[in-house]
Amino acid sequence: MRLVFFTADRKASLAGRAKSPALAESLGVDALKAYRPEPGDLCYFDVSGLDEAGTRKAYSALRRRCGDSAWGVVDPEGAVADPATAFFAGASDYLGPAACRAGLDKARVKAVLAFAAARTSAGGTGGASVSPAGQRAGAAEPGACAESPAAFPGWKSIRPGSSYPFYFLYVAVSAQVNLRTRLGEAGYGTLRDRLRLQMQQALAEADALLWMETDSSALYLVPPCASNVAAASEACLRMLLGAPLVGYERLGLPFPVDFVFAMHSGETEFEAPGKTGTIVSDAVNFSFHLGAKRAEPGRLTVSGEAYALASPRGLSDLFVPAGTYEGRSIMNSRRFGVSGA
């Protein structure tokens, strides 16, 4: 595997503060014309100093030159107004100011390559694509991720104790009143049961698994496949828009409620629901922090890592940048403000 960094500033580096940086070969931007990637190669392009039109041209040149191999955008000054445009153009990674400072490490390179492979197979190469483990995508087990069956074999074949990439969906319900005080213990228990049922119905298409549940929130695991993540994101947005109907009709609440959703992607060891007490995972911690401390009622908050798949075409304009949290860029869905026309 070859990692190339095209930049006008020859002193620039992708290493940043990473403890185990991925070693990249730095080349001038003109060298892109002669770039001939092999399968599995990865290149990054520094867009510093380019205006919007120049950035667009760079994207199309990268798409032409790189074909199916992975490429990413480096934006140390945060000059790209809408990073999602890079993903729409075919990029597999975007390093904003915070990510540039953190540096590109081997784990991220691995994740970017897996994402690019997943997207390539989703884009129509289908059965011809070969996963890193050498299995044909068409030979995947039922429920396995069609894009990368080796990365996620499906819930029936998943092995406790092994690590897998997942999308984590944090779910909580919020109201202006203290729900437990207002409803009483029994009523609150009923509300939780109804909410669990409602979420399971809403997330059926996403094939999500209720993994952890606290007194006030829940964490679902979503398979790391484009269709599942998009379905989970759509289900959350539908619930946010329909919150008055869901609260009133399905949850039977006589006062308004809002939902809090947060999504992040990362790798974690898998244990069956109810046996997750020993799991130590940065991705799981971050998902809970993002949901409990940063996400706002009435919004779906998505980390930069999860954004590409969580904002399917047609819904991407519902998301806006919301700064960074714990060193990661995050996006918020726009609120559905409902009022008279």
The verdict on 335 binding other proteins (CB under 8 A) reads yes
Choice from 21, 154, 244, 297 touching other proteins (CB under 8 A): 244
**Token pair of 193, please?**
């049961």
CB of 198 to other proteins, least distance (A): 15
CB 160 within 8 A of CB 275: yes
The verdict on 253 binding other proteins (CB under 8 A) reads yes
**Site mask for other proteins (CB under 8 A), range 288-327, x = bound:** ------------------------x-xx--x-x-------
**Token pair of 187, please?**
């009523």
Instruction: Render the burial of 42-69: b for 16+ CB within 10 Å, e for the rest.
Output: bbbbbbeebeeeebeebbebbeebbeeb
CB of 1 to other proteins, least distance (A): 37
Sequence-distant (6+) residues with CB within 8 A of 288 are: 170, 217, 219
Give Cα 312 to chain centroid, integer Å: 11
Write out the binding residues for other proteins, residues 269-288 only, by CB under 8 A. Answer: none
Q: Cα separation of 258 and 268, whole Å? A: 29
**Site mask for other proteins (CB under 8 A), range 100-129, x = bound:** ------------------------------
Indicate the residue among 97 and 242 with the shorter CB distance to other proteins. Answer: 242
Q: Which of 172, 166, 197, 164 is nearest to 262 (CA)?
A: 172
The verdict on 252 binding other proteins (CB under 8 A) reads no
The verdict on 241 binding other proteins (CB under 8 A) reads yes
The verdict on 194 binding other proteins (CB under 8 A) reads no
HSE of 216 in the Cβ direction (CA atoms, 13 Å)?
Answer: 11
Site residues, other proteins (CB under 8 A): 234, 237-238, 241-242, 244-245, 247-249, 253-256, 312, 314-315, 318, 320, 334-341
